[in-house]
Structure 1
Amino acid sequence: MSHPGDPTLDRADALFDVGRYEQAAALAAQHLATDPLDATALVLLARCQHRLGRAEEAFDSIETALLAEPDALPSWLMRTHILLALKKYEEAERSARHSVELAPDYWGSHYALGTVLDRSSRKERQREAYEAARRAVSLAPGESAAHFLVGLTAHRVGNHRVAEQAYETALRLDPQSSEAHNNLSLLQLRRRWFRRGAWTKAAAGFVESAALDTNDRQARYNLEAMAWGTVAGARWVALLGFVGAALGSAPLRTGASGGDALVPYLIGVAVVVGGWGAWALWLTRRVPARLRRPLLLVARGCRPVIAMGVAVGLLGLHSVVAMALWTVDASVVGALGYPLFWGVVITYWVSRAALRRRAPASERAG
């Protein structure tokens, strides 16, 4: 936004656009020292304070701006977003509805109202949020944020087809939207059992979302959940291998010989080797090379994933060792194996609960 004859505010605007909010706020405050009721400068200062997480200060600035110009639309819209940050939802809704009254043909007014209504847990409010988002799109079909809000509100009410189309449109208009990447991936993840390659597409979307916004805890958590689910799925292979190794080596440990010992042993080997080989093949097909490093990095920093991986790995190793050292007494094998068996079962539930506690508070769909 240009401010004719005021280079200070122009510089502040430029600094805001590149994310240097402290410097932009300082310049806006410098201007306000000479003109304390300049509504434009007050709104800019409030925007900076809002981005810096100083919501109370931002609210004071925007209230001063409204005293100077009571019907200024930018002030009312900014007031709505600040009140959302302060979790004053009823007051934010009143502010958003007043914005619609001031500018019924401006997409941003309906976008603000839809954003506020979307936070409600009441279905009728969420449907109204969807209608407000659709109105925003009809007024500004080239705005990525409006399409994203349509996707978000449709996602909330269970209209996944519309949500997917809206997220895809938002990404065509703004490929750098980490939120659209994240929410589209959530939809793809829901359909992983019905669409070939949906899991891989979801993982790729979460990786892209996390790369676009390094502070995005939601995308990182989604990747952690996918990594944990992959490791947890291997527990069935480990448990099957444990049973196969125990039954396959039992005749040899009890002194059997010939075919009575060899056939069960070979079946046990086939179960262990075949099970892990099939899982490894499935994993390489499901997780392409470009996604393995991001998932591995996420897994290394997530204790529930590490715990599940260690439990599964130890049980799998026990099965291999049990088959290889078939002369070891059965009581020794059992003394080591049964705690590992139950360790996998217990670790599954404990790590699952721990992973859920890591989920960030989010205003996104899903």
Structure 2
Amino acid sequence: MTAPHQPSVLERAEALYDLGRPEQAAALAGQHLAEHPDDAAALALLARCLRRAGRPAEALGYADQALRADPELPSAWLLRAELLSNARHFGPAEDSARRGLALIPQHWAGYHVLSSVLLASGQRARHPEAYAHALRAVELGPEEDTTHFQVGLAAYHLKDHATAQRAYEQALRLNPENSEAHNNLSLLHLRRRWLRPGAWTKAASGFVDSAALDTEDRAARYNLETMAWGAAAGARWVALAGFLTAAVGSAPLRSGATGSGPLVAELVGVGVLVALWTAWALWTLRRVPPRLRRPLLLIARGCPPVLWMGGAVALLGLHSVLTLALPRAGAELVGGLGTPLFWAVVITYWASRTALTRRAPHRRRAAPGP
């Protein structure tokens, strides 16, 4: 009776890496390298583990060691290309990607990595070539969600948003847990929020899904912060209109006029103010379905620019209510306090917008290996 195959240390390390446990995989790879220091496959695996652990400089060092041990190892060339691209060394990154591709011309990973490097370089003239390589990757790896995602990314850079959307949707059909595809598809929906009903809601839903799938990805969280800030900033128009409505509606009573006219003006002002805020609340509730309200609220509570904007709007809205509730309070309430609050909303809008922009993360991409 044949004894069952016992996996080697390196095979167990590869399995742990595939299961998303890079620390344990790195420990086993190190154990293997202690006995086989020139094993290129083990060096390349350790480099991948270190990359995933957020230690790119060490990962690059081990990738170089792997290539010194075996210059014909394509996965090490492609990993080196990704690491150099992330470090913005695009010339050497492209050279590494092409050398890796030359070793595996019939494998999708080489075309995928080369396309990623060309897009990351920021040279618009290279975008058509990046798109062509992404299409070739799809031809060779049609069941890989990352190949379709790359087509979407390249198409987006070429401003072909329809193709980008189809590619992202296909990536999600193949892998519903592709957080980057959720995120980028949501960005497309967000661009169309004024043109297509429900686009804003789809965008928010996608960002929530992306953030839930990858808790360490700051991009999706930042996009949610942007949407929460946009909701608060949009309410400034309601607050400013309410401020003017309250000032005009309470003016006759504040000036001491008598008769039914001042009371009618006051009641009209109250009705308009209630209508403004009710319409805004109903519109907001319609845009944000129940499952998205808690995530957006939690995001808003942890984002100072959103809190600043929301606070400024709330204070001006409260001032409008007090102006109509206390019409005889005098000019001190309307002008003395209202005018500073009015300008506070305007100034807070620009200050919070600038602060939000500074919170934007630098997006990291992980290129696969063969």
| Superposed displacement of residue 43, structure 1 | 1.4
| Superposed displacement of residue 172, structure 1 | 0.4
Greater RCO structure (CA 8 Å; 6+ sep):
2
CA deviations 1:211-257 (Å, max 9, x no partner) are: 00111111011001100110111111111111111111110111212
1:41-56 matched pairs, under 5 angstroms: 41-56=42-57
The letter for the 2-side match of 1:299 is: A
| Superposed displacement of residue 363, structure 1 | 5.5
| Superposed displacement of residue 292, structure 1 | 0.6
CA deviations 1:269-318 (Å, max 9, x no partner) are: 12211111111111111111111110000000011110111110011011
Indicate if the aligned counterparts of 2:86 and 2:364 stay in contact, CA closer than 8 A. no
The letter for the 1-side match of 2:303 is: C
| Superposed displacement of residue 121, structure 1 | 1.7
Indicate if the aligned counterparts of 1:120 and 1:126 stay in contact, CA closer than 8 A. no
| Superposed displacement of residue 80, structure 1 | 1.6
1:205-224 matched pairs, under 5 angstroms: 205-224=206-225
Look up the match of 2:368. Answer: none
Indicate if the aligned counterparts of 2:115 and 2:129 stay in contact, CA closer than 8 A. yes
| Superposed displacement of residue 6, structure 1 | 5.3
| Superposed displacement of residue 259, structure 1 | 2.9
Q: Note the residue ranges of structure 2 that are not aligned, 5 or more in a row.
A: 366-370
Indicate if the aligned counterparts of 1:246 and 1:322 stay in contact, CA closer than 8 A. yes
| Superposed displacement of residue 21, structure 1 | 1.9
The letter for the 2-side match of 1:328 is: A
Indicate if the aligned counterparts of 2:309 and 2:349 stay in contact, CA closer than 8 A. yes
1:89-104 matched pairs, under 5 angstroms: 89-104=90-105
Structure 2: how far apart are the matches of 1:216 and 1:204? Answer: 16
The letter for the 1-side match of 2:238 is: V
CA deviations 1:95-149 (Å, max 9, x no partner) are: 1111222222111110111011011221111221111101100111111000000
Look up the match of 1:357. Answer: 358
Look up the match of 2:169. Answer: 168
1:299-314 matched pairs, under 5 angstroms: 299-314=300-315
Look up the match of 2:341. Answer: 340
Look up the match of 2:131. Answer: 130
Look up the match of 1:230. Answer: 231
Look up the match of 1:113. Answer: 114
Secondary structure of the structure 2 residue equivalent to 1:234: helix
Look up the match of 2:254. Answer: 253
Structure 2: how far apart are the matches of 1:288 and 1:309? Answer: 20
List structure 1 runs of 4+ shifted beyond 4 angstroms: none
Look up the match of 2:198. Answer: 197
Between the two proteins, the alignment pairs up a number of residues equal to 361
The letter for the 2-side match of 1:286 is: R
Look up the match of 1:14. Answer: 15
Structure 2: how far apart are the matches of 1:65 and 1:330? Answer: 77
Indicate if the aligned counterparts of 1:25 and 1:49 stay in contact, CA closer than 8 A. yes
Structure 2: how far apart are the matches of 1:53 and 1:209? Answer: 20
TM-score normalised by structure 2 residue count: 0.94
Structure 2: how far apart are the matches of 1:31 and 1:5? Answer: 15
The letter for the 2-side match of 1:140 is: G
Structure 1: how far apart are the matches of 2:58 and 2:270? Answer: 68
Secondary structure of the structure 2 residue equivalent to 1:361: coil
| Superposed displacement of residue 63, structure 1 | 2.1
Are residues 333 and 116 of structure 1, via their aligned partners in 2, closer, same or farther at CA, if it must alter by over 3 Å? same
| Superposed displacement of residue 332, structure 1 | 3.5
Indicate if the aligned counterparts of 1:119 and 1:363 stay in contact, CA closer than 8 A. no
1:67-78 matched pairs, under 5 angstroms: 67-78=68-79
Aligned-CA RMSD value: 1.5
Structure 2: how far apart are the matches of 1:263 and 1:203? Answer: 42
Structure 2: how far apart are the matches of 1:301 and 1:203? Answer: 17
| Superposed displacement of residue 5, structure 1 | 6.5
Q: Note the residue ranges of structure 1 that are not aligned, 5 or more in a row.
A: none
- Judge which range, 192-201 or 51-60, deviates more: 51-60
| Superposed displacement of residue 82, structure 1 | 2.5
Structure 2: how far apart are the matches of 1:121 and 1:74? Answer: 24
Identity fraction in percent: 59
Indicate if the aligned counterparts of 2:323 and 2:333 stay in contact, CA closer than 8 A. no
The letter for the 2-side match of 1:354 is: A
Indicate if the aligned counterparts of 2:88 and 2:121 stay in contact, CA closer than 8 A. no
Structure 1: how far apart are the matches of 2:351 and 2:76? Answer: 49
Structure 1: how far apart are the matches of 2:42 and 2:250? Answer: 80
Q: Does 1:185 align with 2:180?
A: no
Structure 2: how far apart are the matches of 1:219 and 1:175? Answer: 16
Look up the match of 1:276. Answer: 277
| Superposed displacement of residue 344, structure 1 | 0.7
